[in-house]
Structure 1
Amino acid sequence: MKAYGRRVVQKVSATRGFARVAPHVVPALDRTVHRLTRGKLLLSARMLPGAVLTATGARTGLPRRTPLACLPEEDGTWLLVGSNFGRPGHPAWSANLLKHPEAEISWRGRDIPVRARLLTGTERARAWAAAVRLWPPYAAYQARAGREIRLFRLEPR
């Protein structure tokens, strides 16, 4: 996407109105496009790298599929940011990973078994800086969330 268009989308993404609507629209569109392209495409990946996380539900024990933005790292790991679009509560998928860290991601058409690890301290600070460089609206999400946004590193297993 052109730099101007990307800046406009980032500006809109940082708004409270987007935070109210996006959680209901973006994942549904992503799930549909992901299914129709047999795991090769996510609509939101036009802006950010994306994957579909399959994690075990913390309360139900059932598999839960969630399309998410991710930050692929050079060492073959991925960062997930539990921003929940800056809303006050943590996203459900993050509770799932805390209780059941073994999960799977669909990344570029491949299903990869992973283990999630919640980041803290200096490691979290470095990861947060990388996330905000990639997607500046994360800073606005953090400012209004009223909680520390969870960051996870997914490592292949």
Structure 2
Amino acid sequence: MPFGVRVMRKVSSTRAFARVAPHVVPAMDRAVHRLSRGKVLLSARMLPGVVLTARGAKSGLPRVTPLACMPEPAGTWLLVGSNFGRPGHPAWTGNLLAHPDAEISWRGESFAVSARMLTGEERAEAWRAALVFWPPYATYQARIEREIRLFRLTRTPPAA
């Protein structure tokens, strides 16, 4: 494993990172993604990432959120609502629960997706895979009482 990844795993598990990262990382990602016309996410240098555009749960307005993701062999993506190990669910998870039809930008390409929150054994299996993929998720879960939400995004065919 590259040295940078080992360091980032250690740093991202700290409470200090959980306090600072939610304010810094998404803002930087949004700016770089916009400037690169959807081709670059800074955080994707450590973990694969998408830019999710989902309608707000209450407002119905488009909400743009850069997120780490776990690409799956079936051509789907797993999103982990860890919120950096902070107590509340991240807003984007509530948006997907209210409006599961969304859009992602993935490696410079944008397309429609449908999101589904995982439960039961399907969630347990995905959680095990997520912990192998990014072990700090276990630290995040250990410091909070809520169960971290997991979503699977599936590409939807373009509208005719």
Identity %: 73
1:4-153 alignment runs, 5 A limit? 4-153=3-152
CA apart distance, 1:152: 0.1
Deviations 1:58-111 (A, max 9, x none): 011100000000011111110000000000000000000000000000001111
Could you list the structure 1 runs, at least 4 aligned residues long, displaced by more than 2 angstroms after superposition. none
Scaled by the length of structure 1, the TM-score of the pair is 0.97
Distance 2:5 2:48 in 1: 14
Aligned equivalents of 1:28, 1:43: Cα separation in 2: 10
Please tell me the root mean square deviation across aligned C-alpha atoms, in Å: 0.8
Q: Any idea what SS the aligned residue of 1:117 has?
A: strand
Long gaps (5+) in structure 2? none
What is the rounded CA distance, in whole Å, between the counterparts of 2:102 and 2:40 in structure 1? Answer: 20
2-structure distance, mates of 1:136, 1:90: 19
Deviation of 1:134 after TM superposition, in Å, equals 1.0
Determine the C-alpha separation between the residues in 1 that align with 2:144 and 2:50: 23
Say which SS state the counterpart of residue 79 (structure 2) adopts. Answer: strand
Distance in 2 (CA, whole Å) between partners of 1:29 and 1:140 is 24
Letter in structure 2 aligned against 1:58: A
Give the letter for the 1:134 counterpart.
Answer: F
What's the offset of the Cα at 1:46?
Answer: 0.5
Amino acid at match of 1:143: A
Gaps of 5+ in 1: none
Distance in 2 (CA, whole Å) between partners of 1:52 and 1:72 is 13
For 1:156, the equivalent position in structure 2 comes to 155
Count of matched residue pairs: 156
Deviation at 1:18, TM superposition (A): 0.3
Amino acid aligned to 2:155: P
